[in-house]
């Protein structure tokens, strides 16, 4: 994966040693710091995360099941005008996604118009026939979206994934900022940064704004988690805590008088909006996977009858499917009447013979992803793979081509990390968090910056050894 | 509050109390073994019995040596009541009820687990045991301090305290029960010097030897000690004290929730049963019988609490 000759766009240093505009204030501050002091601060941050239990679980590892996501103390800084453009593009895309979902589950105009092939929807596991003809409260399907964005140049932003199911990581966005505020309070008085701490309140409000018809009075929200062994459990409890709502598991809930109710010490009480952090498949053993122990039997029927709001809506995953992704520019244009502001990464759908041939011929230069995969599992990064790995993957591709898409390896931008007492560039991506309600779209300024800690590596996933940074949008 | 959350809080504090008590039992046993030259085997055996882990212990060990017993009670993960296991399960429960805890309490429980996991990763050498036990005690005090200092006095606090006192009552009762069995086959033995050493161990097991001496000026009779451990409401580990606390917490819940539940009545009955007895009568009717009955009733009360507040489905 290392390509010494390739020039990557560094967000902090342009050319040889000119600091870019957004980083000028930070750079000045940094120059005044004693590197040993920063090293100590970095260790302090780790202790802070451990003590607070901000950990994630790694699947398939018996030892050390709880890990920290490494935190780098150099912020990733975005200028206000860059952010303005980005957020406009994200809002456009998320608006289109919601319109697309409503269309796909109702009149299916986009399929009739031939913009998106019918089979791509009908044969897709993420498509839920149970949602046909149903409009969720407020017509919102994706209450929470985490749009993965990569940058390759000053004005080149690409959307890598749309994450319209249950995007995770927002707790890190919030805790990273808290950590920075604790460690370097003086820095924030020198550089004005837009706050992110409003997120939990905004989330609560967005969920309440989508209360179901059966709700009378103040909506009651709960967060549904698979339980303490889930990799993102910390985040589930964090969000429930920050919103001041109950954190429930499937066995805390049941159907009572046509509503979903949770078992309290005083009996059953209705829940109006359920922010679920379990996959569609496990949501309702009566309607989906009958073996699921995580869900609530019958919740889909209550949902369709207007007794509860489920966020994100079941079936929303059809919009962030990697095969649908390649049609996103057309989807945006179809519903908004405008050209997509944010670019899509060129995508080869291996289901198509030409694309498969191209992919096989150029495997060592491409990134190949499973259509339904996530978290960096089951993915091939061509330039980093060994000959054997390439051969094995080619065999998988030939066996099930429709299961894969391929994309060119992007020259992801770099941002410095603090390592060995100095700054060194590492590749990053960005996941801003978007809230959707009938009242509009709310994008928290910033998001989660994931950083590949290994020199030259392009894989930023936390499950694959990536770290995170605080992400600043400047107040100018 | 979710029934599950109430249960999680209750169990979290039961487990923390259990861990602390186990450490205290080890401490008393260790001291006994140091100060007496013979028959430490019997002593360690009674420590294992009192901790309620005899069956599990016997399944993997043939004898009761200090090294094996200490290891089993402090750090064997095959023993669900070992200090190490309990710190892990208490933390799991804390994670489960994270939204009900203040940051201070959560961090204290989390740190308790982190510190003990590190402390107990290898066998504790004899020379390091006192320091290790002190660390265990200290961290459990930190959790308790965080609870008292930072938690709202609402149902969250009530369920936490209920767990503590139900567990503590059970623990003190089992200590008395085991000592009664092995050492006091008949009232005539009371007062012999052997008994004094044994009873001092009992007092140490509940961290009450100094307070007892202070209150009784060295009157080390079995009946005075039994009175102290069972009926004295000044001692925070006595059965009477624990039960009166359980009654108070259940009453607070009853006020808060504006309901009177079967567990309120059961607890009050148990409390009345304590208040109406004196130690002479208890010895006359049989200490062992009294204690066994108490353990059973305390257990039944615990089950009733779980049912009344819907801890489980």
pLDDT digits (tens, 9 = 90+) for A220-240: 999 999 998 888 899 999 999
Alpha-carbon distance of A181 to A164, in angstroms, equals 30
Distance to chain A for B208, nearest Cα, Å: 33
With beta carbons under 8 A apart, name residues in chain A contacting B92: 228
With beta carbons under 8 A apart, name residues in chain A contacting B309: 265
DSSP state of A254: E
Tokens coding A461: 């996933």
pLDDT band at B226 (very low <50, low <70, confident <90, very high): confident
Which of B6, B99, B114 faces A241 most closely, judged by CB atoms?
A: B99
pLDDT digits (tens, 9 = 90+) for B70-98: 999 999 999 999 999 999 999 999 999 99
Distance to chain B for A400, nearest Cα, Å: 41
Lowest mean pLDDT among A296-305, B84-93, B223-232: B223-232
Give the model's pLDDT for residue A1.
40
**Three-point CA angle B177, B280, B50, nearest 5°:** 10
Alpha-carbon distance of B253 to B3, in angstroms, equals 13
Alpha-carbon distance of A166 to A232, in angstroms, equals 11
Give the model's pLDDT for residue B288.
86
B/e letters for A236-256, b = 16+ CB within 10 Å, e = fewer, are bbbbbbbbebbbbbbebbbbe
**Three-point CA angle A412, A346, A471, nearest 5°:** 35
Supply the Cα-derived Rg of chain A in whole angstroms: 22
DSSP state of B238: S
**More confident site: A47 or A203:** A203
Residue B58, SS3 per DSSP: helix
Which of B2, B96, B110 faces A53 most closely, judged by CB atoms?
A: B110
pLDDT of A404 over the 60 cut = yes
pLDDT of B218 over the 80 cut = no
Give the model's pLDDT for residue B220.
72
pLDDT band at A68 (very low <50, low <70, confident <90, very high): confident
Give the model's pLDDT for residue B87.
95
Average pLDDT over residues A199-221: 96
pTM of the full structure:
0.88
Q: How many helices (H) and strands (E) does chain A have?
A: 15, 26
Interface of A with B (CB under 8 A): 50-53, 228, 233, 237-238, 240-241, 246-249, 251-252, 262-267
Distance to chain B for A266, nearest Cα, Å: 7
Domain ranges of chain B: 1-151, 153-313
- Substitution target in A64, A222, A240, A265 with the highest count of B β-carbons within 10 Å is A265
Q: Is A41 exposed, middle or buried (0-12, 13-18, 19+ CB in 10 A)?
A: middle
**Three-point CA angle A225, B12, B146, nearest 5°:** 105
Task: Kindly compute the dihedral angle of the four CA atoms of residues B215, B219, B225, B231, in this order, to the nearest 10 degrees.
Answer: -50
- Partner A contacted by B155 (CB < 8 A): yes
Tokens coding B111: 């740190």
Domain ranges of chain A: 46-342+429-473
pLDDT of A93 over the 90 cut = yes
Q: How many whole angstroms from its chain centre is CA B150?
A: 24
Tokens coding A258: 């046509």
Alpha-carbon distance of A471 to B9, in angstroms, equals 36
pLDDT of B64 over the 80 cut = yes
pLDDT of A339 over the 50 cut = yes
Give the model's pLDDT for residue B208.
87
Give the model's pLDDT for residue A290.
87
**Three-point CA angle A48, B150, B210, nearest 5°:** 105
Give the model's pLDDT for residue A377.
65
CB contact under 8 A, B98 and A266: no
Residue A406, SS3 per DSSP: strand
Give the model's pLDDT for residue A447.
96
With beta carbons under 8 A apart, name residues in chain A contacting B310: 263-265, 267
- Partner A contacted by B313 (CB < 8 A): yes
pLDDT of A62 over the 50 cut = no
Which of A233, A238, A264 faces B2 most closely, judged by CB atoms?
A: A264
Reference A164, options A320, A373, A280; nearest CA is A320
By CA distance, what is A248's nearest residue in B?
Answer: B2
pLDDT of A16 over the 80 cut = no
pLDDT band at B184 (very low <50, low <70, confident <90, very high): low
Reference A327, options A25, A67, A111; nearest CA is A111
Give the model's pLDDT for residue B168.
96
Alpha-carbon distance of A150 to A332, in angstroms, equals 19
pLDDT of B181 over the 60 cut = no
- Substitution target in B11, B98, B108, B154 with the highest count of A β-carbons within 10 Å is B98
Residues with Cβ < 8 Å from B227, sequence gap 6 or more?
B278, B279
CB contact under 8 A, B110 and A51: yes
Tokens coding B54: 């005899």
Alpha-carbon distance of A376 to A450, in angstroms, equals 13
Residue A310, SS3 per DSSP: strand
By CA distance, what is A244's nearest residue in B?
Answer: B99
**More confident site: A61 or A277:** A277
The pLDDT > 70 percentage for chain A reads: 95
Q: Is A291 exposed, middle or buried (0-12, 13-18, 19+ CB in 10 A)?
A: exposed
Give the model's pLDDT for residue A10.
94
Q: What are phi and psi of A149, to 5 degrees?
A: -125, 140
Contact A433, A442 (CB under 8 A): no
Lowest mean pLDDT among A55-69, B134-148, B220-234: A55-69
pLDDT of A445 over the 50 cut = yes
pLDDT digits (tens, 9 = 90+) for A116-171: 999 889 888 899 999 999 999 999 999 999 999 999 999 899 999 999 999 999 99
Counting other chains too, the contacts that A179-184 makes at CB distance below 8 Å and 24 or more residues apart are A179/A45, A179/A48, A179/A49, A179/A71, A179/A470, A180/A73, A180/A75, A180/A470, A182/A48, A183/A41, A183/A44, A183/A45, A183/A73, A184/A41, A184/A73
Q: Is A60 exposed, middle or buried (0-12, 13-18, 19+ CB in 10 A)?
A: exposed
Residue A408, SS3 per DSSP: strand
Q: First and final CA of chain B: distance in angstroms?
A: 14
By CA distance, what is B110's nearest residue in A?
Answer: A51
Q: Where are the beta strands (DSSP E) in B145-224?
A: none
ipTM > 0.95, yes or no:
no
pLDDT of A375 over the 70 cut = no
**Average pLDDT along chain A:** 91
CB contact under 8 A, A241 and B3: no
Distance to chain B for A343, nearest Cα, Å: 40
pLDDT of A352 over the 50 cut = yes
Give the model's pLDDT for residue A64.
47
Give the model's pLDDT for residue A61.
45
pLDDT digits (tens, 9 = 90+) for B294-313: 999 999 999 999 999 999 98
With beta carbons under 8 A apart, name residues in chain A contacting B257: 265-266
By CA distance, what is B305's nearest residue in A?
Answer: A265
Tokens coding B112: 């308790």
Distance to chain B for A263, nearest Cα, Å: 6
Convert B80-126 into a string of H (helix), E (strand) and C (coil): CCCHHHHHHHHHHHHHHCHHHCCHHHHHHHHHHHHHHHHHCCCCCCH
Alpha-carbon distance of A289 to A295, in angstroms, equals 9
By CA distance, what is B258's nearest residue in A?
Answer: A266
With beta carbons under 8 A apart, name residues in chain A contacting B103: 52
- Partner A contacted by B257 (CB < 8 A): yes
**More confident site: B211 or A105:** A105
pLDDT of A275 over the 60 cut = yes
- Return the biggest CA–CA distance within chain B: 58
**Average pLDDT along chain B:** 89
CB contact under 8 A, A50 and B98: no
pLDDT band at A3 (very low <50, low <70, confident <90, very high): very low
- Substitution target in B77, B87, B99, B115 with the highest count of A β-carbons within 10 Å is B99
pLDDT band at B217 (very low <50, low <70, confident <90, very high): confident
pLDDT band at A178 (very low <50, low <70, confident <90, very high): very high
Give the model's pLDDT for residue B284.
85
Cβ atoms < 10 Å from Cβ of A130:
18
**More confident site: A14 or A332:** A332
Give the model's pLDDT for residue A65.
61
Average pLDDT over residues B186-205: 65
Find tokens 């009552």 and name the residue: B169
pLDDT of B165 over the 70 cut = yes
């Amino acid at each position: 994966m290392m390509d010494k000759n390739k020039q990557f766009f560094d967000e902090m240093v342009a050319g040889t040693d000119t600091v870019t505009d957004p980083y000028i204030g930070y750079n000045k501050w940094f120059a005044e710091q004693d590197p040993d002091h920063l090293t100590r601060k970095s260790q302090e941050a780790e202790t802070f995360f451990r003590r607070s239990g901000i950990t994630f679980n790694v699947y398939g590892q018996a030892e050390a099941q709880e890990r920290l996501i490494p935190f780098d103390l150099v912020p990733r800084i975005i200028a206000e005008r860059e952010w303005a453009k980005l957020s406009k593009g994200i809002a456009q895309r998320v608006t289109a996604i919601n319109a697309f979902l409503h269309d796909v589950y109702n009149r299916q105009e986009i399929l009739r118009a031939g913009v998106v092939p019918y089979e791509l929807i009908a044969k897709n596991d993420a498509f839920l026939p149970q949602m046909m003809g149903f409009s969720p409260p407020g017509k919102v399907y994706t209450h929470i979206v985490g749009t993965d964005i990569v940058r390759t140049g000053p004005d080149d932003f690409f959307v890598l994934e749309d994450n319209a199911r249950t995007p995770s990581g927002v707790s890190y966005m919030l805790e990273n900022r808290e950590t920075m505020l604790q460690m370097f309070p003086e820095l924030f008085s020198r550089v004005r940064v837009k706050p992110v701490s409003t997120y939990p309140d905004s989330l609560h409000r967005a969920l309440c704004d989508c209360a179901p018809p059966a709700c009378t009075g103040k909506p009651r929200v709960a967060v549904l988690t698979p339980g303490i062994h889930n990799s993102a459990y910390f985040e589930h409890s964090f969000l429930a805590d920050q919103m001041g709502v109950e954190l429930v598991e499937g066995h805390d809930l049941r159907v009572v008088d046509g509503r979903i109710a949770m078992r309290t010490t005083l009996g059953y009480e209705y829940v109006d909006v359920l922010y679920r952090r379990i996959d569609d498949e496990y949501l309702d053993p009566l309607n989906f996977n009958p073996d699921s122990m995580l869900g609530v039997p019958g919740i889909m029927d209550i949902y369709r009858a207007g007794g509860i709001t489920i966020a994100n809506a079941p079936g929303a995953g059809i919009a962030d499917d990697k095969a649908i992704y390649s049609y996103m520019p057309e989807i945006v244009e179809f519903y908004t009447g405008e050209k997509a502001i944010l670019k899509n990464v060129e995508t080869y759908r291996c289901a198509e013979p030409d694309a498969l041939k191209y992919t096989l011929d150029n495997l060592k230069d491409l990134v190949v992803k499973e259509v339904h995969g996530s978290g960096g599992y089951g993915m091939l990064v061509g330039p980093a793979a060994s000959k054997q790995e390439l051969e094995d993957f080619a065999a998988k591709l030939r066996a099930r081509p429709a299961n894969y898409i391929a994309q060119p390896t992007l020259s992801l931008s770099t941002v410095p990390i603090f390592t060995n007492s100095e700054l060194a560039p590492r590749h990053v991506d960005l996941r801003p968090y978007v809230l959707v309600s009938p009242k509009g779209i709310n994008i928290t300024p910033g998001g989660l910056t994931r950083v590949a800690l290994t020199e030259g590596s392009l894989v930023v996933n936390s499950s694959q050894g990536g770290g995170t940074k605080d992400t600043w949008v400047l107040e100018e | 509050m979710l029934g599950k959350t109430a249960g999680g809080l209750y169990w979290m504090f039961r487990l923390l109390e259990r861990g602390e008590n186990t450490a205290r039992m080890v401490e008393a046993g260790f001291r006994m073994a140091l100060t007496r030259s013979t028959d430490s085997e019997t002593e360690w055996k009674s420590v294992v019995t009192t901790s309620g882990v005899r069956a599990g212990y016997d399944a993997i060990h043939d004898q009761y040596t200090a090294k094996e017993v200490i290891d089993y009670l402090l750090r064997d993960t095959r023993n669900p009541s070992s200090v190490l296991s309990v710190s892990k399960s208490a933390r799991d429960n804390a994670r489960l009820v994270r939204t009900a805890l203040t940051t201070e309490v959560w961090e204290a429980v989390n740190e308790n687990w982190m510190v003990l996991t590190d402390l107990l990763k290898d066998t504790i050498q004899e020379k390091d045991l006192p320091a290790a036990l002190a660390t265990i005690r200290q961290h459990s005090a930190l959790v308790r301090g965080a609870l008292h200092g930072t938690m709202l006095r609402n149902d969250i606090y009530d369920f936490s305290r209920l767990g503590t006192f139900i567990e503590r009552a059970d623990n003190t009762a089992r200590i008395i029960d085991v000592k009664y069995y092995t050492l006091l086959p008949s009232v005539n033995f009371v007062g012999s010097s052997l008994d004094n050493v044994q009873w001092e161990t009992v007092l140490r097991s509940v961290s009450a030897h100094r307070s007892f001496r202070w209150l009784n000026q060295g009157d080390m009779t079995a009946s005075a000690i039994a009175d102290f451990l069972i009926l004295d409401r000044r001692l925070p580990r006595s059965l009477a004290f624990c039960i009166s606390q359980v009654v108070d917490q259940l009453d607070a819940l009853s006020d808060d929730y504006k309901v009177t539940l079967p567990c309120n009545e059961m607890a009050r009955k148990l409390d009345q049963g304590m208040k109406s007895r004196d130690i002479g009568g208890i010895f006359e009717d049989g200490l062992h019988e009294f204690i066994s009955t108490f353990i059973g009733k305390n257990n039944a009360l615990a089950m009733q609490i779980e049912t009344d507040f819907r801890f489980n489905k």
